[in-house]
Structures are given as C-alpha cells and as structure tokens.
Structure 1
C-alpha cells in the first residue's frame, strides 16, 4: 500500500474551506474532513479511480470508494435534495467502476443557481480508514478539473468517528416512521452518526427490505433508500443507548425543517418552518423579532473626487502614489492582525494588497486618465467595471467579492477627496444589510432601522447587544452571499435566523397576520411590564436590565426594569483615542442611577480583553486573548486607569445615595477566579473611599464567569452579591470560543455541565448573598425558567425583553419545574434538556389555560 496518493479536482471551481460552507452538517465536520468547490463548470468528474457505491435517488449526491477503501461523498450544491433530481443528469450507475476524470453527472447551472440555496459542492472523506487528508491548493484559489486537490497520507491513528469494535452497556431497540420529506439523505444520516458518536453507542438501522446498517457507514445508510413513511428499526448498544434512541427517533420522526437547527424548532417558529429555499439567507439569531421591509445594503459612501484631471502623467503619478499609500496601510493592518493572532483577518488584508497590485485594474484606470479623467475618478470607473463583472457572475463566491472591491475603491479614492461623502437616508423600516458594523455606526442609524442582517459578526458582539437592547430584529454570521440580497418587501424572522428576500404573496399574508398577533401580544405585555414578575406558585423574581449607556437606562425604566443588573462600563472606553476622565465617567454613572429613581444599579468595572480591545492600551500579547489579560486581571497592568474608575463610581454613589439606606449604585467586578482576587479589589475600594473621605461604601459583587469562581463558596461570604455571566461561563466550561460563528449554535447554557456549575454556585451562596444572571441566557424564556427553578434571584436582560420575560415568569410553576431538575442534570445534552423542558412548559401552559377557562 502506498504511503500517500493524490486526488484531483472533480470540476473547475473556487476552493472554499469546509468550515465556511453555510451548512452546519458540512461546516462542523459531521460528515468527515474535506473541502468545498464553488463550481465554474457544469459537470462533476471522478476525482480518482474507484467504484460507485451510492447514487442518491435525487441525483445530487454520489459516493465513490477508492482503491484504498476510502469513501468520498460528492454533494452537488446545498439543499439540492429538495429539487428531486430536476436539473441533474447522472452519467453513471451504482456499482460502476470509474477512472480518474470520468464524468459522473451533468447539471443545469442556471436552474440550480435559481432553485438551490447554493451551488457550493462539498467533497467529503466520509470513511478515512486510517488516512489523513492534506489540501493542496489554498482557500480562494481557482482549481481546474483534473488538477491535484488532495493528498492522502497514511496515518496510524484510528479513523475519526469510528465506532468501537464492541460497545458495553445496554441494548435498546425502537421503531420509528420516517417523517423526513426527502427520506434519509446526507444531512440526517450525518446527524445519526453524530448522535452515535456523542452518546458513545453503536447505532444501527434496519427496514423490512434491508438488513441492519451501522450509522458509522454513511454510504451504507444512503444505499438503504429510506423514504418518507418508511418504518425503520433502530438499535443502540451502549450505556447511553436509551438517550441516543430518543434523539434518533426525534430526528427521523420530524420534518426536514428541524435539520437546520441544533435544537428542535419551538411552536412559535411555525411560520418559518414553511419557508422556501429560494431567496433565503440563514444566520444566527442575535436579537429576536419579525419584520417586513425593504432591503438596503450599507456600503461606505465613496469620497467626492474631481472628475477631470491634470495632465495624464501627473494623474498617473498621483494614482500610483495613492495606491502605494493604500498598500502601506494594508501592510500595517496585516502586521497588526498577525501579531494579535487574527490570521484570518491578516489573510483578508493580504488578499486586498494583491488586488491593488492587479495590472489589469491599473491599466483600466490609466485608460480613463488618458481620456481626461482625474486619478480618483479613473480608479472609481475602473473598479466600477470590475465590480459589475463580478456581480453578474453566476458564482456567488466571486459575486461576494464586490464588497472587498468597494473597500479598495474607497481606500484609494480618499487620497483624492475634496469633501466628505454623505450617506443616503434610509427608507422607513428598512432591513439593513452589511458585512459588519461598529457600535458607533449602528447607534447613528438605529432609529431608522426595522431590522439588521450582518454577513459577519457574532451573537455576543456589541452590535448584537445594542440591537437586543432596542428590540431590533437582528441576525449575524449569514455569510458573504447575503450582500447580494435584494428585495422591496423582504421578511426578517430573527427568531429563526432567516431572511427571505422575495417572499410569496401568500407568505407575506401569513407573516402580516403573525405580525398583527405579535403586536397585540406586545401591547398586552407592555400594559403589565411595570408589575412584579411573580410566578404561579408565589415566587417573585427581579427582572433587571443590561445596558451600555445612560440613554439605555431611560429605556430600561420605560420598559419596566426592576433595576439595572449590568451596566457595561467598557462601552464608555471604546471607539475613542483616550480613556474617559473621572468627571466624565461620574456624570454618566450619576445619570444612570437617577434614571432608575432609587432602583438598584449594578455597574461592572472595565471589562477589556479577549474580544474587546482599546487602541490606547498596550496589553501583553497572548495566543489566546480569552485566557489572557482581561477583566479584573487588568488591574495589575493599568492600576491608575482602574483607580480612576473606582473614584468615579464612589463619587457617583455618594451623590445619588438616598437620605436613608445604602447607595443604589453597586459595583461588580468581572472575571473573578477566586476569593483572594476578589479581596484585593475589596481592599482597594476601601482605600479609595478613605482617600475621598467617603464613609458609605456601595455594595461590591463578583461576576461568576470562570468555573473556579462557581466552585468557590467562599466568594458568596466575601461578596455582597453574585452575578453569573453565562456567556463566558459556557465558553470556559465547554472550551468553545463565544466569538466563533461555527460554534455559536452549540454554546448553550442548558448544557448539563454548565447547569451543574450554576447549581453549585447557587447552593454555595444560599444564606449568604443573592445570585443573579446577567448573561444572554436570561433573555431566553426556556433557559430563564430553568435558571429560576435552580434558585436564581434576579434575571437581567436587554430592555426590550423585560416585559416578555416577566410575562413568561408569571405563567411558570417553579416547584413543578424544580421537581424535574434531578433528571435534567443527569441528561447528556442541552438538546435533550431543551426538549424535556419545552414539553413540560407546554403541558403546564395548556393546563393553566384550561383552568383559566374553567
């Protein structure tokens, strides 16, 4: 057997890393390692010599076993299973022997581009059998059919995801009728394999017409030909056999629409479940809501430049100088990004520099200069022509590069600018599309927006936080194809994470009915928003607000907040050249406390590091910023900055203290790891108060974001209160970067390990101090119910969610849900917990409604 061998590209195409494919089954490696190609041709060819072991009934997927017994899945496009073979012609059959380069299938590029979600074609090694995979071209390269694409190198490691030879534990069997509209195709087959791996079981499927097939064999599952309505016998062997079967039965027994989500869709997503694939863009829900409105793409306005120029020689020299300056600026940005460990960002800057060096673009600009145009205008015209060519491309990846081209256009033209550009006004209720957005840019136009869709970004970014505070529907991480979306009456369903650019009239009518019902519910909730959140069995929970500015404090008060559970003071420090002065900070803190009219206000000290950086601070470089200098750890490096903030907080607390009682202002310290760390801050607070001759100290609390803090009962004895930051607690417990869009769907506070930590924290604090939650999970009605059942005293949410969370808590029977906790905490996944809690709440809600009617 050779030590390595190569496979060739099955089609001309652009190389796309698998993790960038906008489908979690491929992007997360569930099916196996590989790469994707955005096709530039209309025929798929064999990447190597082998035998066809599977042809999908719908002709969109082919599996080939090579001479080394490795199995390769070629999956033509995304969501092409829904086309039922239309537009695709198979040129081979099952069990055919093929040679490298033999045509496998031909497809109608235009038809698939209009009817499938994308033409992106993954090529996956589904059964490595001891081989490691090396990609030969670089991401973004264009490869030609027949050029080397992969090298397989013999590895001594066991094939990833392979089932153990024998699985101890119990064996369970269950029968389910398949409800998947398109039967058992690649994505649900991959989910089955993941279920078996996650629960460490051997999972087999059998039908009346087919003997048992192990779920580890993707081709075996696909060759079973399981259609909708087929009865399938599932057998699981292992200690978690019963739990694995629950998940497998739920997967096969639900329609295909549930496959796009990590957790089953809830009932209020029913409208989204029927969404057609055409004109649809999916992302991560960052701020819930439903809106219909015109799509507007935000791109930086171009500088105003002189149309006519000086002599051609002078204009060419001026253009060459502007390009050289833009190139130098990109080089500095690339170096900064590389040193900070943001290599993907550095790669983007490097690609932009290469584009600046494109002789074709420069030659086109020089021709316009020869026609009498100025250097800036000539560059605009040259790049306009190139952008039009890319936008007209059938290739969505190339069309998505238009945004990069516009960026370069602006960078060079600004050197010729005669005046600042102006941004055209947005139409009322516009759904804004952008690659990404800074908090200041968002704040400047937020009042004019109906919704926001970002190609990049994350659910914990500051723009996402600000959108939630305003109740503005927002989805993020949609991918670059989003920038090509157009529509006069588009629909953004930010609950489900879906943008529909061209919904049908029937769909619009259904959405308008849903919007009307939601408006009625909002009005009802608003009428009771200022009332306490008391559950059906008499537990009153404080519902406070998470804010980032004095303006949001007034918004929180108007929405019925019982206080401020988290004021993110770092937003005062961002997007400026120097830190705010102590008097400037004191004014903001005082305004926030006054807006709440005596209700408690918790202000978090500066939380900088990881995803938030300040240009005027130089922090030690670290390969993993999330584990480096951030939060309270900043004190050792910037003691004067933090002392200045403490002084401002102490003075604001003194000036807003009521005549009787402690200050309403409270201070909270982020990223506390242990009691000793907290006591250092407590001592320093007392020293600063003494220097300012302040006797009444505000309460001092600790954020629980690090597992070691959750496991330190001594913190509850030292602190006046605890507040759990579930975003970071989940990140550090699950070892998943909260800023990674690819992992965002799995960052769930209802993971049993995270819930056990929260339970231990609450038990340690019992009788010592109250415990709140200020993370994003407090705004999730399902998670909020579980947190209250665990014993949380306060939930702090974005202002726009206060009324909704209060309304949900009033329908909750805490004791009934608390009785389920022992079972919930022994479950194997967040998905299982969500299913169980959702079913329990639905049952109790139905019972409550029936009792009300009686």
Structure 2
C-alpha cells in the first residue's frame, strides 16, 4: 500500500461536526460518500484543495472540485440552501476554473441563511475517491480555522471495479422533473444509491447533456430544474426496478411544505413603528411593554486551588444532574414531552466533557467553582451566538439555565434562590435579550400577554414551551427591541411583527378580536359537559387522549365523555426497571377515580419504533416500527405484559375500564389476549371482566374489521400509524410529513372498510391526530365514527364543532371524495363541504339547560 496522502483543508472557520451527525440523511448515512462537516463561524467558503471547479450549483450553494489525483470533493454550504435560489450567496468562481487551496469560492450572509435555511452546517464530502480512502480527520467539537488540515486521504492503490453490468437488459423512461429545487445534491445522491442498490448503470439525459448517476457532480452540472424534460436509460438485470424507483424520485415533489408554518421563518411586511421577528409561537396580544433582565447568582471569584475546588465542582454537577433527572422523569410520566426534552438536553450539556475540562482549567487558574463554571459557559454561549446557526444560537438559553443551576450551589446571596425574574405587570408584553426555560416557566406564573426576544430561535426549547402554553412569542428580533421600555404595543405573532405605536383604532380592533376569541372559547367551555349531537341528530362522544391520572383530571374538568386512549407506556419510560404491579395499579386506579363514572380506555404497553425501554431487550430489526410490537411483544416478554394485565384487572370498578390492544393484525391475536385475560381473571377470582378492544393501525386490521368486530367489544382507529403503514411513509421522517396525510384517498378507503366491516356490531372510535383535525374530524363523523378522542384542551372546541355539523352534507359527497387522486385534491374539495356542513341552516338539537 502506498504511503501517499492528500490533505483537504477547512473551507471556512467553524466547529467540526461528524458527518454522521449532520441533520440530513443524504449526508449522515453516507449516500454521497465519506467526509466531515463544519458549523460556520465565518462568512466565506473557500477551496479545500487545489483543482478544477467541475460543478457550480446554479443556486451558488454547492461546489465540486476535481483534484489532480482524480478525487472529487463537494463543499455544500448549509442544508436545504438550494431553496434560497442563490439569495444571500455570492459566487466568486466559475465552472472550469482552476483554484488553489484556500481560494474563496463564495461569500454568504450567515444571518439570512440561518433564518431561512434548515441549517448552516456545511458538509465536505469526497464524491469520487479515485482509489483513495479516508485516513484521518479533525476532532469533532473543536473550532478549526479556515485553511487548517481537516481530512487526510491515503492512496490504497485498490483497482476500481467495473460498474458495467454483464446483462444487456435495457430500460428507458421519459419524465418531467417535479423537484421544486431541481436536480441538486440530495436527489442526485439518491439516484446514485438506486443504481448501486440494483447493480445497474443509470444515465440521465437532459438539456442536451448527459451524466452517469455514478457522478453526483455530473448530475448537478446538468442544470436540470423543475419542469425540465428528462430521459433515463438504465442497463442491467435490475433495470426495471431501478427505473421505477428513479422515475418515482424525480416525479415527486420534495415536500418542503412539510415544515410547520408555525416554525417557518416569517418576516411580515412592516409599516411605521413595526418590528419584525420570527414566529416561535403564534397568537395575538396587546398590553404594556415590560423589560425583563435575568440575574445570575452571586458567587465568590477566587477559589482555594484545584485540589480543593474540583471535588466541590463535581459534587455540584452530580447534585444538579440528580435534580434534572428527577424533573425529567416527572415530566415524562406526566406526559409533558416538551418539558422532558428540555431536561434531556440540559443533562447532556451537564455531562459534556468539554465544558467540564474548561471549568477545571479555570480552577487551575485560581477561580472558585461557581466562577469557573460561569466563565466556561459564557465562553461556550458566545461560540453559539456567533456561529451563524439558528439552531445552535437557540441553545444559548439552555446553557444559561444550566449555568444558573450550578452557580446556585455556590451562591453567597440566598435571595438569588427565590426568583429568576423580577416582577412584571400582569398582561404585559415582555421584552428580553433571551430567556432560559426555567425562567420562562416562572415568568408564566405572572400571566404575561406575550413575549419578544432579541435572541433565540424557532427551534429553541423556549419556543417549544411557548407553543405548548399557547403564549404568543417572537424571537430573533435583534437590537431593534433593545431600546424599547414603555408604552402599549400589539404583538401580532400570527404575522410575525410587534406594533410599537398602535393607534386607538388598532387597539380597539385587537381588543374586539381577542374578546371574540375569548367569548367563543368560554361559550364552548360552558357547554363542554353536555353531549355532542350533530345537526342531523347523531350523538358523537368526544373523549380524551391522556398519559397520566393528572391529565385525566384535566380531561374530566374540560368535559370529556371519557378517556379514549391512555398511553400506558408513560409509566414505563424513564426507568431502570419496569414499574411493579402495585405502582401500576395505583396510577390506573387514580385515573379511574379522576373520571368518576366515565369510561377509561387504557392501551397496553406499546413500545418499539421511536419508543424504547432500556430494560427490555428486543431483537435487532431493520425496521423497528414493524418488529416486536403489540401481541408479539406480549409473547416475547410475557412477564412484562402479564404484570400489567394483573394491575389493570385490579382496578375498581372494572365496569368502567376498557383494555385496548395495539398493533393488532388479525382476530387470532385479539382472541389470544382475551383468553389470557380470562385465565388471569380466574386466577384473581374475579366475576367481572372489563371490555376488550383492538386498535386499527395496520391495513390488515382495517380490511379484517368484520371478523375483529365479532371478537372485540370496541375498536379504535389510530390514524397516525394507519397512515404510516398504509402509505409506507415513516411519520418521523420530516421529508415525508407533507405527504403522509390521513386524507389520502387510500387511507380514507381503509377507514371506510373498517367502518363498513363492523356493520354496527361494536362502536368505532378514532384516537389519532385526525380526530381533532378541523377537516378530517367532520369527515370521520360523516363516515360513521362513533367517538373522537382528542387532547384534553381541545374537548370543548371539538364538541362545539360537532354540534354545528350537518354530517349529511359531507356524507352525500363521500364517494366522490374517495375517488379523487390524492390527499391534496381531497383537502381542496373537502374544505368547502366542511364549511357548508358547519354553517348549515338546519336547526341543531337543543342542549338541555
């Protein structure tokens, strides 16, 4: 093996990020090739080596260089920057130009890209290794200057194998490119993967040129845009399958609309006295402006030497870690996912060896533990602020929260322990540079009307919490709000702006809008405990989806007709071992008691896919979502589920309990569970049994609902999983989110098959997200669903919508809707039908006083 090496230098100053951690599977899974990434700390992208520029993206965000050795290196500025169409980027080189290592390729506006791209993380990938292999790379997490060594390649002298298939099978296809942003790096990488997977050669023809799918740079250089006419020629034994996949890839829109509107960078058109921000949490508010500043605890500056102070620091970190873990577990058990994720992030930061090392270094300089920790986190926060990356900048508040927690262990002023934030007027629009999650929780106790931050991002934990509490919030407003301190303002977080000088007329208009929204909500809440009857006389139960007995109390107070889904896995998550029978029974009994005489549906343990338990060993599966789930889990871990079954059968009175089994594929699985329940009940000397039901989450269950309805006491459609499995689209994949739509005609036909199959033999509920959807919910009622199960806070609004609904208007058009080609068409046709059905002149059933 030759000892020859090639060194690729850093194309810009930045923080080293392993390619596997880049938040884009095309890069992280190695579809393009080996490499590394940088989180930029500068605004100029430079050449990582000398060579020829063989590809310049028309949107100026990506460049490919060919080294004299034959290797091809792609430098890709940010993620999804192709969608910016070159805005904020200035190319400094041209196709075919020879460049030297370190020569500028483009300049860019970090602020604009941070606001409008998915991420500023910049991958550098070896597209064609030409027989060279990756030998070494810079250490992840370090800051590296532009021009410093980043990757080292060595010459392995391996003879490249021929990519020419032995078979003469050839297939051709013609298409119109549907990719909104053209044939850029991601789809190019997928084309190459398709060719490799099926062992074929694939050539793309378009715009008078052609390129093999083996060359990602060649594909990108074709300059194909949305609407381009393309011809694919595939040779090899797998030509037919490869052509089908390639055609599907290039004729399917990429789905950028999958980004939730509430998270999209939204800058409103501004008038006089208006300031723009990014929408972290939508809503409308008016009130006096109030400035908030965070205080750090007072700690001694000097310490007694590293030998004395290091054990004190480590003890404080361990103590805070225990507090955070307890808080995380409590949030998880209570089903408060957003809060649990915040504590998870804080625990990861607390255990960061880099932060600990910097702190210990400060101790060696003579500082106290509290001061050392303060300076270490100040230094890290500054790196994140200046990274140009919105996601990283949004984590500064988490660092500050953690900074304060640990400093409190060394606090010399006990008053600092009493309050994170000062007093503000109730109903104020709060202005702050940034806000930690714990300070946000304390601030919310003072009932602010809204929040405006100079810093932060729409993906920060604070933004997540603001959305959870429905508090209007704008972030990333910059210095524009730093001088504001008084006056009455309007926060229009629906449009992304703060109106600092609203006139009397505008304030009156906002007041009327808010009063109307409050009146509507109050009217809905006033009738929340009454049954929901449609205008055409159908009674629809509206139940709650919960994760704990506390949420059951909220649901009962909000008027729920019962609980349609209690996710029992919340009892099992965040533990080192499974909860004991007595612990489970206590929680189930508390939930029964919270509901009074209303029914409680508890789903047996549903883990796998995105939910894993450290104390349950499941076989490795290529696709965990289709692995050991439902009754398969019961059969592979009988003690785990038998313990849960005994706890469930221990509640009193059993007549109010319904047990629901997830991931049922056919009736034999449900019959197996019923036999197990009857045997257990006999062992416990019970004379009464709860109702037993099944979830309709997979197509086979929907199509076999007839036989299931003869064995089940009730059925419940889990629309989230039914959509996922029915469309073969992972619901966790953000690139597929826009297409994984319950209103797809195929999914609606599965629901229709389930409802027709039961033929009224047992009630059918819907407990997935579609139950509370303003379009899907009315359609489900019109199709014949008996119960909608939604989040507790939505009970009153959903009941009000049901009472206004004349389901016959939608039902009369059902066959036409199901015959439409796709979900987009269904949504387009369904919207006016729902509007008409909700505004019918038919007199609804009167609610008894």
Question: What's the offset of the Cα at 1:319?
Answer: 1.8
> 8 Å contact 1:12–1:144 — kept in the other structure?
yes
Match of 1:819 among 815, 821, 824: 815
Question: What's the offset of the Cα at 1:835?
Answer: 0.8
> 8 Å contact 2:16–2:142 — kept in the other structure?
yes
1:356-375 → structure 2 map (5 Å cutoff): 356-358=356-358, 361-363=361-363, 366-367=366-367, 375=368
Question: Which residue does 2:17 correspond to in 1?
Answer: 16
CA shift in 2, pair 1:690/1:128, >3 Å: same
> 8 Å contact 1:90–1:106 — kept in the other structure?
yes
Q: Which 5+ residue runs of structure 2 have no aligned equivalent?
A: 234-239, 329-340, 452-456, 843-849
1:701 maps to 2:703: no
In 1, Cα distance between the equivalents of 2:170 and 2:383?
54
**What secondary structure is seen at the aligned counterpart in 2 of 1:716?**
helix
**Structure 1-normalised TM-score?**
0.66
> 8 Å contact 1:364–1:382 — kept in the other structure?
no
In 1, Cα distance between the equivalents of 2:771 and 2:308?
56
Question: Which residue does 1:543 correspond to in 2?
Answer: 542
1:379-458 → structure 2 map (5 Å cutoff): 379-383=372-376, 385-386=378-379, 389-390=382-383, 393-396=386-389, 402=396, 405-406=399-400, 409=403, 413=407, 416=410, 422-424=419-421, 455=459
Question: What's the offset of the Cα at 1:395?
Answer: 4.5
1:353 maps to 2:353: yes
In 2, Cα distance between the equivalents of 1:327 and 1:600?
45
In 2, Cα distance between the equivalents of 1:173 and 1:49?
37
Question: What's the offset of the Cα at 1:811?
Answer: 6.2
CA shift in 2, pair 1:365/1:5, >3 Å: closer
Question: Which residue does 1:91 correspond to in 2?
Answer: 92
In 2, Cα distance between the equivalents of 1:234 and 1:485?
49
Question: Which residue does 2:846 correspond to in 1?
Answer: none
Match of 1:771 among 735, 752, 764: 764
Question: What's the offset of the Cα at 1:629?
Answer: 8.1
Question: Which residue does 1:255 correspond to in 2?
Answer: none
Match of 2:595 among 593, 596, 599: 593
In 2, Cα distance between the equivalents of 1:848 and 1:195?
46
> 8 Å contact 2:741–2:823 — kept in the other structure?
no
**Structure 2-normalised TM-score?**
0.66
Question: Which residue does 2:120 correspond to in 1?
Answer: 120
In 1, Cα distance between the equivalents of 2:815 and 2:673?
39
> 8 Å contact 2:772–2:794 — kept in the other structure?
yes
Question: What's the offset of the Cα at 1:14?
Answer: 1.5
* Deviation by residue 1:65-104 (Cα, 9 ceiling, x = unmatched): 5564847353368759759666x55432233233443332
Question: Which residue does 2:236 correspond to in 1?
Answer: none
**What secondary structure is seen at the aligned counterpart in 1 of 2:544?**
strand
1:143 maps to 2:144: yes
Question: What's the offset of the Cα at 1:366?
Answer: 1.7
Match of 2:257 among 254, 261, 266: 261
Question: What's the offset of the Cα at 1:720?
Answer: 0.5
Question: Which residue does 1:656 correspond to in 2?
Answer: none
Question: Which residue does 2:829 correspond to in 1?
Answer: 840
1:161-176 → structure 2 map (5 Å cutoff): 167=171
Question: What's the offset of the Cα at 1:291?
Answer: 4.9
1:522-671 → structure 2 map (5 Å cutoff): 541-549=540-548, 552-553=551-552, 555-556=554-555, 561-569=560-568, 571=570, 581=583, 584-585=586-587, 588-594=590-596, 600-605=599-604, 618-620=615-617, 627=627, 633=634, 636-638=638-640, 641-643=643-645, 645-649=647-651, 651-653=652-654, 663-671=655-663
> 8 Å contact 1:15–1:143 — kept in the other structure?
yes
Bigger Cα displacement from structure 2, 40-49 vs 682-691: 682-691
Question: What's the offset of the Cα at 1:701?
Answer: 1.4
> 8 Å contact 1:34–1:122 — kept in the other structure?
no
In 2, Cα distance between the equivalents of 1:458 and 1:622?
37
**What secondary structure is seen at the aligned counterpart in 2 of 1:16?**
strand
Question: Which residue does 2:41 correspond to in 1?
Answer: 40
**What secondary structure is seen at the aligned counterpart in 1 of 2:141?**
coil
In 2, Cα distance between the equivalents of 1:676 and 1:553?
32
CA shift in 2, pair 1:240/1:63, >3 Å: closer
1:798 maps to 2:791: yes
Question: Which residue does 1:657 correspond to in 2?
Answer: none
1:718 maps to 2:711: yes
In 2, Cα distance between the equivalents of 1:684 and 1:447?
52
In 1, Cα distance between the equivalents of 2:605 and 2:670?
15
Question: Which residue does 1:102 correspond to in 2?
Answer: 103
In 2, Cα distance between the equivalents of 1:630 and 1:788?
27
Match of 1:321 among 311, 317, 323: 311
* Deviation by residue 1:429-484 (Cα, 9 ceiling, x = unmatched): 7899989899xx9899689587999857899xxx99x987x877899xx9xx9999
CA shift in 2, pair 1:449/1:763, >3 Å: farther
In 2, Cα distance between the equivalents of 1:380 and 1:803?
48
> 8 Å contact 2:394–2:459 — kept in the other structure?
no
> 8 Å contact 1:10–1:44 — kept in the other structure?
yes
In 2, Cα distance between the equivalents of 1:504 and 1:193?
48
In 2, Cα distance between the equivalents of 1:166 and 1:298?
69
Question: What's the offset of the Cα at 1:635?
Answer: 6.9
In 1, Cα distance between the equivalents of 2:398 and 2:760?
57
Q: Which 5+ residue runs of structure 1 have no aligned equivalent?
A: 252-257, 368-374, 654-662, 828-832
State the number of aligned residues.
765
In 1, Cα distance between the equivalents of 2:301 and 2:9?
51
Question: What's the offset of the Cα at 1:542?
Answer: 3.7
Cα RMSD for the two superposed structures: 6.6
In 2, Cα distance between the equivalents of 1:434 and 1:26?
33
